[in-house]
């Protein structure tokens, strides 16, 4: 046999090659391959001409297509009606009505679903529907139950949208046919459902009286299923005929059905009657509904206890104004027996937990109503219930219970809340997570809760770590639900706790977690925290974390920064965005990753709309340049997205046309501008409150530290220095120590700025005078005067003079070495040496003792304008000065000990704690440098009254003699 001849393997092997495939693959695999791989003939049956439009293709498939193709036509029927309704109704619906009767049952069900869905969406009504009435009736008598049930639903849906005249002609004759019990129960059931469909429009029918009587007749049917079905239709019928006719004719039927011998009928009647509670008048509730409920509770029929437990909350809430106290206690006792009894099944106790918020709302207005009606006992029982479903229902409504109890929620619900929060079942504590913020907002209304919520926060953070560790992949939605509640925390917990524990944890999760929805939730929470940050250090820490996102090497993290900017654009004022995030966002236009640039592009039009003021023209130009850079981007997607952005001129013109006037000129509507103004005003108020709070706290801390230091200094001086140092220390404390045998003599107080109530220090700043309390015994006055470059002296200086009302030594002259100029910065080496030497060797001068007041005043001096001395301008000057703040966490004892050990603030320039000194401004290079000139104290005794003056002048280069004289003086320079 030559190599070119084809081998007949069938003849060689003795059997067909197909059988060989079967032997090699196996029978099952061979059958599977036959299903997967079709012949050309089979493939040809599925081929449709591409030139056909949607309607022609659907008609072709209904007539000639395979079963799967016909199912696709049934599924796309609502879309065809929505897109091409008129053509579909005239061409496709007649084809469906003609072929549906001959199709297979599966296809009949599928077409019924498509027609029912289109009718419910309002795409089919009027004459096209009337074509399917006869089709539906024919299919309802099919032997296939699924087909009959589906087309029965289709017919009910169609009847509700037919015109009244069509109903009168085609539906009512069969409905009102009087055949009594001769008809099968299925027909009577269907007629009962038809009455429910016709009920909303029954008064439009001419035969509405006959339809109403037919409903009354079906309520008394011998088949309990017919009676139960009719009960479910009475609600719509009662609202259609009105309250008077309902009370007169339908209410007796309700009562009779509630007392029916069949539990199914009783449950249906109770449920339907409760839906009408808001419809009934108060007299009907008091005279009929309440007595019926009392009778049911007395009987306690075991098979409807679950129904009573489910409807008890609604019943009590709707009848709360008609229930006397005795009846209310009767029903709450019944509830208590259902919720705590060991004989109640799990479903009944679950319904009790479901209605617990309604019971609490009913008794919350009564004094001690929660305890007197024993709801606290029921709550404890349900919290520890062995059924997971009971605990889950209780946890889902706990926030409503807390809202009803108000300020008493925390002491009453604390133990139960902690137990449910720590429940081992995920379905239980998941419900707590979803409403955790609302629950905590109610708890915080209690006055005594502040000291206890810290433990709750740590419990929440521990749960968050558990979710991040164990549920990051399998149940990340639970983790997201918990993190979403962090946005409520600024209103619940202290800001120090939040920024000390929550903020680091959120950013840690932001960098470690891989689930994008969790990261987006964290970004939203961080924006909320920034909005409520009232301390500069907190805001600075948040800014630092946010800018770290922008500089991250991972482009996923940089995308989160863009997401954060999008949140800021929607939640904050335009001024805040311009000052904090405008430049960082525009820098992202040059990001090396195209996905980042693609995400930045849609935000630029919104950024441009934020720049609505005339002085923002430079920023508008930068945005335009950024959009131009994105249009010229090398990446096609980025360039296309930038080209699709609205042009600046057209958007501005549209805004001018919509808003008009000034607001429209810059692309900002009146409503948007008013919202932005409100946001900016809120931010300014928060900033002002922050500065006021920080200043008050700083003053309190300095006063406490000053008193504690004076006390310790006196004790140390008495123990080590003897009489001389003791006299100085006593002068600091406000008293004079005398040698034995000498007469005690009151000393002039040289402590300017401590906390004694009657002294007043006047601060003069360019004509501005502000009074503030000091601690001098007597009416000591400290006056400061700042002379700027425009003054006659030509140099910036501050003069401070300390005087007393009983000054007896005004003529005393200072020593020649009194005027010694020293730099005021706490980083100056000369300052540190002199301060330490003065603290250890010489008596305490009035400079240090008045330095705290000078410091308080000097923090107001940098950046103040001459023409504006309002409190708001002063706060703005403080922002410009950016003074360092003291550490609030140190106790006064520790502060005093540090002062004793390290001198009076003679640390390095990086030190953040400086007592009795004007804090160093961040922009110190732009502020005029000042120095103190002090009059020395008399050596060997206490300070004389009014004996010194303090002057702050510009620093000058000193001679060696002046330095030596200054080093030998008894000053303590601060």
Q: How confident is the model at residue 21 (pLDDT cuts 50, 70, 90)?
A: low
DSSP 581: T
Determine the 3-state secondary structure of 783 from DSSP.
strand
Which residues lie below 8 Å from residue 759, measured CB to CB, with a gap of 6+? 773, 774, 775, 776, 777, 778, 779, 780
CA-to-CA distance for 111 and 70, rounded, in angstroms?
9
- Both tokens of residue 52? 């056909």
Taking only the tens place, the pLDDT of each residue in 102-151 is 888 899 999 999 999 999 888 888 788 888 888 888 888 888 889 988 99
Task: Map tokens 């108000």 to a residue.
Answer: 406
DSSP 614: G
With a cut of 50, say whether residue 286 has pLDDT above it. yes
Q: State the pLDDT at residue 25.
A: 54
From residue 600, how far is each of 522, 556, 573 by CA, in Å?
A: 20, 13, 19
Q: State the pLDDT at residue 313.
A: 93
411-439 average pLDDT score: 93
Mean pLDDT is lowest, of 135-149, 733-747, 846-860, for 846-860
CA-to-CA distance for 521 and 525, rounded, in angstroms?
6
CA-to-CA distance for 860 and 875, rounded, in angstroms?
8
Q: How confident is the model at residue 963 (pLDDT cuts 50, 70, 90)?
A: very low
DSSP 615: G
Mean pLDDT is lowest, of 202-216, 631-645, 825-839, for 825-839
Q: How confident is the model at residue 878 (pLDDT cuts 50, 70, 90)?
A: very low
With a cut of 70, say whether residue 461 has pLDDT above it. yes
**DSSP bridge partners of 763:** 770
Q: State the pLDDT at residue 707.
A: 85
Q: State the pLDDT at residue 365.
A: 86
With a cut of 60, say whether residue 588 has pLDDT above it. yes
Task: Map tokens 């919520």 to a residue.
Answer: 453
CA-to-CA distance for 180 and 708, rounded, in angstroms?
100
Q: Helix/strand/coil (H, E, C) string of 436-484?
A: HHHHHHHHCCCHHHCCCHHHHHHHHHHHHHHHHHHCCCCCHHHHHHHHH
566-578 average pLDDT score: 87
* Sequence-ordered strand ranges (E) for 331-393: none
**DSSP bridge partners of 787:** 797
Helix, strand, coil share (%) of the chain residues, nearest 5: 65, 5, 30
Taking only the tens place, the pLDDT of each residue in 882-910 is 333 333 344 444 444 444 444 433 333 33
303-310 average pLDDT score: 91
> Of 846, 848, 850, whose CA–CA distance to 753 is shortest?
850
With a cut of 90, say whether residue 810 has pLDDT above it. no
CA-to-CA distance for 88 and 554, rounded, in angstroms?
53
Q: State the pLDDT at residue 349.
A: 94
Q: Please, are residues 136 and 158 in contact by the beta-carbon 8 Å criterion? A: yes
Q: At what angle do helices 871-881 and 670-720 cross, to 10 degrees?
A: 70
Long-range own/partner contacts, residues 871-874 (CB < 8 A, 24 or more apart): 872/688
Give the other-Cβ count within 10 Å of 754's Cβ. 22
Determine the 3-state secondary structure of 209 from DSSP.
helix
CA-to-CA distance for 244 and 284, rounded, in angstroms?
11
Which residues lie below 8 Å from residue 523, measured CB to CB, with a gap of 6+? 510, 560, 563, 564, 567
CA-to-CA distance for 250 and 203, rounded, in angstroms?
16
Burial code of 636-648, b = ≥16 C-beta within 10 A, e = fewer? eebbebbeebeeb
Q: How far is CA 880 from the centre of its chain?
A: 33
To 5 degrees, how large is the angle CA 163–CA 168–CA 171?
A: 95
> Of 784, 893, 899, 782, whose CA–CA distance to 835 is shortest?
899
Which residues lie below 8 Å from residue 59, measured CB to CB, with a gap of 6+? 91, 92, 95
CA-to-CA distance for 742 and 11, rounded, in angstroms?
143
β pairing state of 797-803 and 759-765 = unpaired
Q: State the pLDDT at residue 828.
A: 42
With a cut of 90, say whether residue 526 has pLDDT above it. yes
Q: Please, are residues 411 and 419 in contact by the beta-carbon 8 Å criterion? A: no
Q: Please, are residues 116 and 153 in contact by the beta-carbon 8 Å criterion? A: yes
β pairing state of 931-934 and 781-787 = unpaired
645-650 average pLDDT score: 64
Comparison of pLDDT for 681 and 100, the residue scoring more: 100
With a cut of 70, say whether residue 618 has pLDDT above it. yes
- Both tokens of residue 180? 């009594």
With a cut of 70, say whether residue 6 has pLDDT above it. no
Q: State the pLDDT at residue 720.
A: 64
Q: Please, are residues 206 and 167 in contact by the beta-carbon 8 Å criterion? A: no
Q: State the pLDDT at residue 804.
A: 38
With a cut of 50, say whether residue 82 has pLDDT above it. yes
Q: State the pLDDT at residue 292.
A: 94
Q: State the pLDDT at residue 743.
A: 41
Which residues lie below 8 Å from residue 698, measured CB to CB, with a gap of 6+? 885, 886
Q: State the pLDDT at residue 23.
A: 54
CA-to-CA distance for 496 and 502, rounded, in angstroms?
10
Q: How confident is the model at residue 382 (pLDDT cuts 50, 70, 90)?
A: very high
Average confidence score pLDDT of the chain: 73
CA-to-CA distance for 934 and 847, rounded, in angstroms?
7
Q: State the pLDDT at residue 966.
A: 43
Question: Any alpha helices (H) in 160-289, and if so which ranges?
Answer: 164-166, 172-175, 185-198, 208-219, 224-241, 243-245, 251-258, 263-274, 282-284
CA-to-CA distance for 424 and 413, rounded, in angstroms?
19
Comparison of pLDDT for 539 and 958, the residue scoring more: 539
Task: Map tokens 């003021």 to a residue.
Answer: 613
Task: Map tokens 């997607």 to a residue.
Answer: 637
Q: State the pLDDT at residue 31.
A: 64
From residue 367, how far is each of 80, 362, 408, 416, 442 by CA, in Å?
A: 63, 12, 12, 22, 19
Q: Please, are residues 438 and 488 in contact by the beta-carbon 8 Å criterion? A: yes
Diameter over CA atoms, the chain: 146
Q: Please, are residues 862 and 672 in contact by the beta-carbon 8 Å criterion? A: no
Q: Please, are residues 189 and 226 in contact by the beta-carbon 8 Å criterion? A: yes
To 5 degrees, how large is the angle CA 685–CA 875–CA 905?
A: 125
Q: Please, are residues 849 and 929 in contact by the beta-carbon 8 Å criterion? A: no
Q: How many residues does the chain have?
A: 974
Comparison of pLDDT for 69 and 727, the residue scoring more: 69
With a cut of 80, say whether residue 747 has pLDDT above it. no
Provide DSSP, 718-750: HHHTTHHHHHHHHHHHT-----TTSPP-PPPP-
CA-to-CA distance for 445 and 463, rounded, in angstroms?
24
382-387 average pLDDT score: 94
Q: How confident is the model at residue 768 (pLDDT cuts 50, 70, 90)?
A: very low
334-363 average pLDDT score: 92
Q: Please, are residues 812 and 944 in contact by the beta-carbon 8 Å criterion? A: yes
CA-to-CA distance for 320 and 87, rounded, in angstroms?
57
Q: Please, are residues 705 and 915 in contact by the beta-carbon 8 Å criterion? A: yes
Q: Please, are residues 271 and 311 in contact by the beta-carbon 8 Å criterion? A: yes
């Amino acid at each position: 046999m030559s190599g070119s001849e084809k081998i007949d393997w069938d003849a060689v092997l003795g059997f067909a090659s197909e059988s060989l495939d079967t032997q090699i693959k196996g029978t099952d695999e061979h059958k599977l391959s036959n299903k997967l791989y079709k012949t050309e003939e089979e493939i040809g049956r599925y081929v449709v001409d591409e030139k056909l439009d949607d309607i022609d293709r659907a008609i072709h498939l209904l007539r000639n297509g395979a079963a799967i193709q016909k199912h696709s036509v049934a599924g796309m029927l609502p879309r065809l009606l929505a897109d091409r309704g008129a053509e579909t109704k005239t061409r496709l619906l007649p084809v469906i009505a003609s072929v549906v009767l001959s199709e297979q049952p599966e296809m009949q069900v599928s077409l019924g679903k498509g027609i029912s869905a289109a009718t419910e969406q309002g795409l089919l009504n009027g004459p096209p529907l009337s074509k399917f009435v006869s089709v539906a009736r024919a299919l309802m008598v099919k032997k296939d139950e699924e087909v009959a049930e589906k087309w029965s639903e289709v017919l009910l849906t169609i009847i509700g949208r037919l015109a009244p005249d069509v109903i009168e002609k085609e539906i009512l004759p069969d409905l009102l046919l009087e055949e009594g019990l001769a008809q099968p129960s299925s027909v009577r059931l269907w007629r009962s459902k038809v009455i429910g469909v016709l009920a909303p429009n029954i008064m439009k029918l001419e035969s509405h009286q006959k339809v109403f009587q037919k409903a009354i007749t079906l309520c008394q049917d011998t088949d309990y299923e017919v009676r139960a079905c009719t009960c479910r239709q009475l609600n719509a019928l009662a609202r259609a005929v009105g309250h008077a006719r309902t009370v007169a004719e339908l209410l007796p039927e309700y009562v009779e059905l509630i007392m029916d011998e069949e539990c199914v009928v009783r449950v249906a009647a109770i449920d339907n009657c409760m839906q009408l509670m808001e419809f009934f008048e108060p007299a009907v509730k008091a005279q009929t509904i309440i007595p019926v409920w009392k009778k049911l509770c007395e009987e306690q029929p075991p098979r409807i206890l679950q129904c009573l437990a489910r409807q008890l909350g609604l019943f009590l809430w709707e009848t709360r104004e008609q229930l006397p106290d005795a009846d209310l206690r009767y029903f709450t006792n019944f509830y208590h027996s259902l919720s705590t009894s060991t004989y109640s099944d799990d479903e009944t106790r679950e319904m009790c937990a479901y209605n617990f918020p309604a019971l609490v709302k009913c008794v919350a207005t009564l004094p001690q109503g929660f305890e007197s009606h024993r709801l606290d006992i029921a709550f404890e029982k349900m919290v520890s219930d062995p059924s997971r479903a009971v605990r889950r229902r209780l946890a889902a409504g706990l926030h409503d219970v807390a809202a009803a109890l108000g300020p008493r929620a925390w002491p009453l619900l604390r133990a139960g809340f902690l137990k449910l929060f720590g429940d081992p079942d995920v379905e239980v504590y998941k419900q707590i997570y979803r409403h955790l913020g609302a629950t905590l907002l109610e708890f915080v209304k209690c006055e005594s809760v502040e000291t206890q919520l810290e433990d709750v926060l740590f419990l929440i953070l521990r749960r968050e770590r558990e979710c991040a560790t164990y549920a990051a992949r399998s149940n990340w939605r639970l983790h997201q639900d918990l993190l979403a509640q962090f946005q409520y925390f600024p209103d619940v917990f202290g800001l120090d706790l939040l920024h000390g524990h929550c903020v680091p944890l959120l950013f840690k999760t932001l960098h470690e977690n891989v689930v994008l929805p969790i990261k987006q939730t964290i970004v939203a929470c961080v924006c909320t925290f920034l909005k409520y940050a009232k301390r500069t250090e907190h805001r600075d820490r948040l800014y630092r974390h946010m800018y770290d996102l922008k500089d991250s090497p991972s482009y996923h993290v940089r995308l989160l920064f863009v997401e954060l900017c999008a949140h800021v654009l929607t939640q904050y004022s335009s001024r805040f965005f311009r000052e904090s995030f405008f430049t960082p966002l525009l820098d992202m236009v040059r990001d090396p990753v195209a996905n980042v640039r693609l995400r930045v592009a849609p935000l630029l039009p919104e950024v441009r709309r934020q720049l609505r003021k005339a002085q923002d023209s430079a920023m508008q130009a930068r945005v335009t340049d950024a959009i131009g850079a994105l249009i010229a981007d090398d990446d096609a997607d980025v360039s296309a997205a930038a080209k699709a952005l609205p042009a600046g001129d057209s958007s501005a013109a549209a805004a001018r046309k919509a808003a008009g006037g000034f607001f429209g000129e810059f692309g900002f509507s009146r409503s948007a501008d008013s919202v932005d103004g409100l946001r900016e005003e809120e931010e300014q108020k928060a900033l002002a409150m922050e500065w006021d709070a920080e200043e008050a706290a700083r003053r309190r801390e300095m006063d406490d530290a000053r008193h504690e230091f004076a006390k310790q200094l006196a004790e140390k001086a008495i123990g080590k220095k003897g009489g001389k140092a003791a006299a100085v220390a006593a002068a600091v404390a406000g008293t004079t120590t005398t040698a034995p045998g000498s007469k005690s003599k009151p000393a002039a107080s040289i402590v300017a700025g401590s906390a004694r109530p009657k002294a007043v220090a006047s601060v003069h700043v360019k004509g501005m005078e502000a009074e503030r309390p000091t601690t001098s015994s007597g009416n000591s006055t400290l006056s400061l005067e700042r002379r700027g470059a425009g003054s006659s002296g030509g140099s910036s200086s501050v003069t401070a003079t300390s005087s007393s009302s009983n000054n007896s030594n005004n003529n005393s002259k200072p020593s020649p070495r009194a005027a010694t100029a020293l730099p005021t910065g706490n980083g100056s080496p000369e300052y540190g040496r002199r301060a330490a030497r003065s603290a250890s060797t010489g008596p305490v001068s009035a400079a240090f003792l008045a330095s705290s007041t000078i410091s308080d005043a000097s923090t107001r001096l940098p950046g103040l304008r001459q023409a504006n001395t309002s409190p708001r301008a002063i706060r703005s000057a403080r922002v410009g000065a950016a003074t360092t703040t003291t550490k609030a966490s140190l106790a006064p004892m520790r502060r005093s000990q540090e002062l004793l050990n390290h001198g009076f603030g003679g640390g390095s320039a990086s030190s953040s704690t400086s007592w009795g000194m004007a804090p160093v401004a961040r922009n110190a290079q732009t502020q005029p440098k000042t120095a103190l000139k002090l009059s020395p104290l008399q050596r060997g005794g206490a300070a004389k009254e009014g004996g010194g003056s303090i002057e702050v002048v510009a620093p000058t280069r000193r001679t060696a003699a002046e330095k030596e004289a200054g080093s030998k003086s008894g000053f303590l320079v601060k």
